[in-house]
Structure formats: C-alpha cells, structure tokens
Amino acid sequence: MDRGHLGRFAWLSIAAAVTTIALKTLAWRLTDSVGLLSDALESLVNLTAAVATLVLLTVAARPPDEEHAYGYSKAEYLASGFEGILILVAAVAIAFAAADRLLNPRPLESVGLGLVVSALASAVNFGVARVLLAAGREHRSIALEADARHLMTDVWTSAGVIAGVAAVAVTGWQRLDPLLALAVAAHIVWIGWQLMQRSFLGLMDRALPAPERERIEGVLARYRADGVEFHALRTRQAAGRSFMSVHVLVPGDWSVQAGHDLAERVEADVRAVLPGLTVFTHLEPAGDPASYQDITLDRSRE
C-alpha cells in the first residue's frame, strides 16, 4: 500500500498555516484584540503540527523491512498525539494572555478591517480542512484526519472570536475580549485531549471499528452456514493499515489442499468487504480437542 503521496496534503496544510498566521497576525496588530491574538497563536500550532505531520507521514510511508515487518504506519499516531500536545501548550499561552488583558483591559482599534482579515484566514482554513478530511477518510490516515479536525476547530473558534470582537466594538465592554479568549482556550483543550486520547488508543492496538467487524462477521457467517467454524478472531488497526487473524476449523479428514483452498477463499472474501485488510488464517481440525486450547491470546496450558 503506497502512501508516499499523502505528503502533498501535509504541504497543503503547511501553506495554509503560513498564510493564516500572516493574516491573523495582521488582524491582531490592527485591532490589538487578545481574542484575535489567541486565534493567531493557534495558527502557529497549526504550522508546527503540519510540519510534524509531513515528517511522520514520510516515516509511515516506508515499506516493511526486516526490523519492522508490519511497516511504519503507527508513526501517524505520533503525529496526532504531538498535535494534541501542541494544542494544549497553545491553550496555556492563550490563557496567560487573556488573564493579563482581563486585569488590564484596553480598547480595540480598527475592528472592521481586522475582522475582515481574520474572516479571510478562516475561509482558507475551511477550504483546506475539507480537502484534508476527505483525503484522511479515503486513505485511512489518522494524521491527516487529526490535522483536518484541528483546522476545522480553528474555523469555529475563529468564528466565535470574530463574533465576540464585533460585540466588544458594539457594546464597549472591553473585558468580553479576554473572556472570549479564555473560552477559546478551554475549547481547544478539549480538542487536544481528544486527539491525544485517539493516539494513545491506536498505540494500544485497538480493534477495528464495530461496523468493520460486522462486515467480517457477515462473511464468516456465510461459511458457518456450510458447516465451517471459526474462533480466535482478532483485529487491530495501525493507522492506515489494519490486520485480522482467525482460526478456521474444518473436518479432520480433509486434505491439506482442501483446507488451504477454503482458507484462501475466506481471506479473499474478507478482503473484498474490507480492501487493504491484512488477513492471517490458521487451519485446525474441528474434532481435535487441542484445536480449542488456543482460543485466547496465550495458548491454554490445561
């Protein structure tokens, strides 16, 4: 599975981050709004995360080798987790800036022009987020999905900041600006935690999602109707790669060729409903008690 081409999406994210940093910094300088400053700081996180995504996607695209027989795809979880950590760091920086402005409020300047510039930056993020999300789902890349969700979060927080800064200009309530920045910080803490949690679960060899396991069970059910049995079904996902193993129980008087042919058909049918899935089957005689001592991960010693 060649995933080297995914790097171009990371380059798109880097270009978007550089563009939005410039625009949001300009918006902050025009208005002196700490809310818009928080928005600009998050874009700095976007840039760092996009660079990390590019590096780790490059690592993840390496083919399996002698030292990494199952490939390098789990590197994508590192990109997602790193992005989550960066988001938390940005939240702390935003909170400190907001607390200072809350204690020492200042009037905003050139609000109209600043908000237009900020809205333009959000439009860039929205377009790129849609492209990355589609690519992440199509290629099952957790790194691209994480980057896309972060950018989409940036879009929504920017919308809230723009609305809040506009409200400050209309009402004259200066402390609304830092309060808004604190709300942004709290929101991105939640997003950062979700990204880190997903990465940790991926590194723990979590099973495939329930809908995908149901497709596998649907295939096996067709064979069970013909008298073939299965046990020790296990699945795991490693970013863009997914794996399944299952024991196939057939009558003991079958020939090796007959059992092998059946296992080949089972593997092909499972891959047909889940393209890209790596399938391992283990053939066992249904009438041998020893066939039922390896249902668990560690073979029974009884």
Reported confidence tier of residue 90, pLDDT bands at 50, 70, 90: confident
% residues pLDDT > 70 (the chain): 94
| Rounded CA separation 228/28 (Å) | 67
pLDDT at 290: 80
Which range has highest mean pLDDT (222-226, 289-293, 297-301)? 222-226
Burial class (CB in 10 A: 0-12, 13-18, 19+), 79: buried
% residues pLDDT > 90 (the chain): 18
CATH fold of 210-292: Alpha-Beta Plaits (3.30.70)
| Residue whose structure tokens are 């393209």 | 275
Assess contact for 132 and 144: CB atoms under 8 A: yes
Backbone angles phi, psi at 226, to 5 degrees: -100, 10
Q: Answer whether residue 301 shows pLDDT above 60.
A: no
pLDDT at 169: 77
Per-residue pLDDT, averaged over 84-108, amounts to: 74
- The pTM for the full model equals 0.60
Reported confidence tier of residue 240, pLDDT bands at 50, 70, 90: low
227: left (phi over 0), alpha (psi -120 to 50) or beta: left
Assess contact for 249 and 285: CB atoms under 8 A: yes
pLDDT at 288: 81
> Of the candidates 153, 149, 169, 127, which has an alpha carbon nearest to the alpha carbon of residue 38?
153
**Bridge partners of residue 111, in order along the sequence:** none
Write the class of the CATH domain 4-203. Answer: mainly alpha
Q: Answer whether residue 177 shows pLDDT above 80.
A: no
Assess contact for 132 and 2: CB atoms under 8 A: no
Per-residue pLDDT, averaged over 154-170, amounts to: 77
* β strands within the chain, DSSP E: 229-238, 241-250, 277-285
Q: Answer whether residue 261 shows pLDDT above 80.
A: yes
Domains of the chain by residue range: 4-203, 210-292
pLDDT at 70: 76
Neighbours of 62 (CB within 10 A): 14
Average pLDDT of the chain, as a whole number: 80
Looking at per-residue pLDDT, the higher value among 183 and 124 belongs to 124
pLDDT in tens, 4-54: 577 788 788 888 889 988 888 888 888 887 777 777 877 777 787 778 778
Q: Which two tokens stand for residue 284?
A: 């066992």
Q: Answer whether residue 294 shows pLDDT above 80.
A: no
Q: Answer whether residue 267 shows pLDDT above 90.
A: yes
Burial class (CB in 10 A: 0-12, 13-18, 19+), 139: middle
Per-residue pLDDT, averaged over 199-204, amounts to: 73
